[in-house]
Structure 1
Amino acid sequence: MIKELFIRVYNFFVSRFFLLMRVLPVKNSVVILTSFGDNIDYIIRHPKMRLYDEVIIFSSRQYDFKTFDNVKVYTHSSLSVKELYEIGRAKNIIVDNHFPVIGGMSTLKPYVKVFQTWHAVGAVKAFGLMDESFKHRPDCAKTRFKKTYQNVDYYVAGSKRMADIFKQTFSIDDKKIIKAAMPRLDFYREQSNIQSTRDNVRSRLNLDDEVIVVTYAPTYRENQFNISDIPLDISKMSQQLPSNYRIALRLHPTVQLDTDIKGVIDLTDGFSLEEVLSVTDILITDYSSVGFEFANLMRPVIYYPYDLDEYTNTKGLIDDYESLVTTNIAYSTDEILEMIKNDDFSAEEIRQFKDLWNDYNNQNNTNTLLSMLQ
């Protein structure tokens, strides 16, 4: 209850601050709040962004954003007066996550628009109003959450399936949905982008053309801090797969990779997600949204939910797991090996999976989003 009281006081303070800011003239600016950074380069390099006097980014992590004369980057902090001041005077707000400050945005100038790009193509893990923890919150907190989600004017959804999930998890209607994928998914619309990125990464890794890369990219788990904590027998896979197969790992930065695992490619640091997926021939994941994005490449995905029951009970899932992913579900290293060795993948199923989660990714997504900015 103490945390809830603090949040309500914070929201009250922020809303009053924005109310006072109404007396000041609006600036010809766009404010971007980001946790993930992946969409930002696509947004800020768009020609429309040069029409604004300022494009102000508040980032919770250090990203090497492409710089322009009108772009300014600051460290994100919901308690920063600078951040509140810039939000209160901006024409447009773009966010890629749920930030506490959104709870006070109901008193922004009425013509100011707030856009949510989100940060995932699809969803397995429950979030928003469907999160397991939401069920145990007091009624006042549930009401606050619902009001907060209404403060966002538009949500970018890359598929009808994701739009339906947003409507349920954020308690919104169709009028708030922009039928376009996240800006960074523009990358997958040009085969030349994919091929040149793939060639570049393979060159950096000294991989021959014959090498097939199998990448394991699990979701973050609080109890895993070393690769040995992950129940996937990587050594066995390396030994039993043909010699032209290489295992790659895309782990959470907190997970330590053992240096004695020979021949394993570490893609955790120094590679963007687009680079990782471009070089990957077969992806292994679990509850991460990375599989839905990888589907744009029309390559096989193996889902490995070895702790499905535990994860469902503690974290919660959007829906029945089997209805969210492909039929290539494995529960052991041996099952994964069997799928790979037998090339047990259906091109038609891969296409259907791609279409289900990416059916709005058929346009210039960045342009569609930014055309709605004032």
Structure 2
Amino acid sequence: MFIYTIALNAMDAVYAACSIRGKRDRIVLMSRQGSKPSLDLRMLADELHRRLPQAEVVLCTTDSERKNMFAFIKSLFVMVNQCARSRVCVLESAIPSVSIPRHLDKQTRVVQIWHAFGAIKKFGYQSLDTPANYSSEAAYAMRMHRNYDYIVAAGPGAIDAYSKAFNYEPDRIVPLGLPRMDYLLDTAPESPHMRNVERLRQKHPCLADDAFKVLYVPTLRRGAGTEGWMTREVARLSQALQPCGCRLLVAGHPLDPGCDKEAAKAMRNVEFVPGAPSRDLLSFADRVVTDYSAISFEAALVGKPVYFYVPDIVEYRQSPGLNIDPLEIFPEGTFVDPDELAAVVSQEDTYASEAFSRFVDGYFEGIGPGSCSRVAEFIEECYRDTLIEQKGHR
């Protein structure tokens, strides 16, 4: 506990020092999902610039500590300064520089727009003291997910899970959609979405032919026992799908090292598409296979049949745990055996995926087009609220 006390006091001191110079008319958008701003943050920044030309809109992003510890440590100080000087902090991931300070001033609003479309697996306070997450002692001592005024969810179906994961009352969860929903649903030929799809088609000839394509997008796995899991499962799926004449497209998690290169060369019916956003690869997929990833929601929203391949579901139920157990809720479209999965996904009939499609319709009930505008309008209201110095909800 002593080290936690030192860290808290140090962060409080840095925040207080940065606050001396006062507030700027600034909205800062922060992430540690990667050094480049996500599509959500870029879209939101553009919309906020349009709505609030008098305000600065700043993007402040970094790689996670797992990918680049030096950059992450440096970002702690940059982000605490941004938090102290900005009227609104918009986050899409956990940001210690915002959650640790114990005395954010009255003119600061914090809005968390969590990066996932939903919560199949448990996270945050739901999964403490499991191998996949932190200890309760560390989470509470370091004020994980504290200081939020509001949490934006992609749909009303996420409210209960988010309330538990972030440890806030349900009325603090606001279902507005996420900006990239507009991107996904815009299929006009000259839209940014379709232009990016066309670039992928030109860059990767394997996407342009008529082969029956199964897109595999697993979630990120961490901790002991997960080394080599992706190589192993891609090999099993490759072997199972080979007799069906299906091509397996593989898009790993951005934070996952992926498959062993030598093993990958032997998989003749597998195409790896490194660096390609999964949301754009959806356009080429006849079927989508995932496990516990929220890409399943994105795929269903654009009308793709989704199937779940969960060979480790017994372990996953324990750590980190599941909010949505696909084997229990969608048994027709969920498989632990790759051969059984291959037999179903290669069929023309998509009946096995329809239960999940109906579930997604309810999960996002009432969330129509215009998500980016709704989220930006909500942030604008928070910004204007700070101008009259009302107390936040912390």
* TM-score in terms of structure 1 length: 0.83
Structure 1 match to 2:276:
271
User: Take 1:271 and 1:57, find their aligned partners in 2: how far apart are those partners?
Assistant: 23
Given the superposition, is the C-alpha separation of residues 205 and 55 from structure 1 closer, same or farther in structure 2, using an over 3 Å criterion?
same
Superposed, 1:259-298 pairs within 5 Å as 259-267=265-273, 269-298=274-303
Structure 1 match to 2:148:
152
SS in 1 for 2:23: coil
Letter of the 2:220 counterpart: Y
SS in 2 for 1:247: strand
Q: CA deviation at 1:226?
A: 7.0
User: Take 2:297 and 2:329, find their aligned partners in 1: how far apart are those partners?
Assistant: 10
Q: CA deviation at 1:344?
A: 4.4
Contact kept, 8 Å, 2:308 with 2:335, in 1: the verdict is yes
Q: CA deviation at 1:134?
A: 6.6
User: Take 1:263 and 1:362, find their aligned partners in 2: how far apart are those partners?
Assistant: 38
Letter of the 2:44 counterpart: I
Letter of the 2:83 counterpart: I
Structure 1 match to 2:79:
83
Task: Point out where structure 1 has 5 or more consecutive residues left out of the alignment.
Answer: 62-73
SS in 1 for 2:265: coil
1:236 aligns with 2:233: no
Contact kept, 8 Å, 2:120 with 2:292, in 1: the verdict is yes
User: Take 1:120 and 1:304, find their aligned partners in 2: how far apart are those partners?
Assistant: 19
User: Take 1:324 and 1:89, find their aligned partners in 2: how far apart are those partners?
Assistant: 46
User: Take 2:282 and 2:171, find their aligned partners in 1: how far apart are those partners?
Assistant: 33
User: Take 2:171 and 2:146, find their aligned partners in 1: how far apart are those partners?
Assistant: 12
1:32 aligns with 2:35: no
> In angstroms, what is the RMSD of aligned CA positions?
3.1
Structure 2 match to 1:362:
368
1:306 aligns with 2:302: no
Q: CA deviation at 1:236?
A: 2.6
1:17 aligns with 2:5: no
* TM-score in terms of structure 2 length: 0.79
Structure 1 match to 2:342:
337
Contact kept, 8 Å, 1:27 with 1:89, in 2: the verdict is yes
1:185 aligns with 2:181: yes
Given the superposition, is the C-alpha separation of residues 53 and 340 from structure 1 closer, same or farther in structure 2, using an over 3 Å criterion?
closer
Superposed, 1:115-126 pairs within 5 Å as 115-126=111-122
Aligned length: 356
Contact kept, 8 Å, 2:4 with 2:141, in 1: the verdict is no
User: Take 1:21 and 1:196, find their aligned partners in 2: how far apart are those partners?
Assistant: 42
User: Take 1:41 and 1:156, find their aligned partners in 2: how far apart are those partners?
Assistant: 17
SS in 2 for 1:303: strand
Given the superposition, is the C-alpha separation of residues 263 and 166 from structure 1 closer, same or farther in structure 2, using an over 3 Å criterion?
same
Given the superposition, is the C-alpha separation of residues 285 and 319 from structure 1 closer, same or farther in structure 2, using an over 3 Å criterion?
closer
Structure 1 match to 2:58:
55
Q: CA deviation at 1:160?
A: 1.6
Contact kept, 8 Å, 2:99 with 2:144, in 1: the verdict is yes
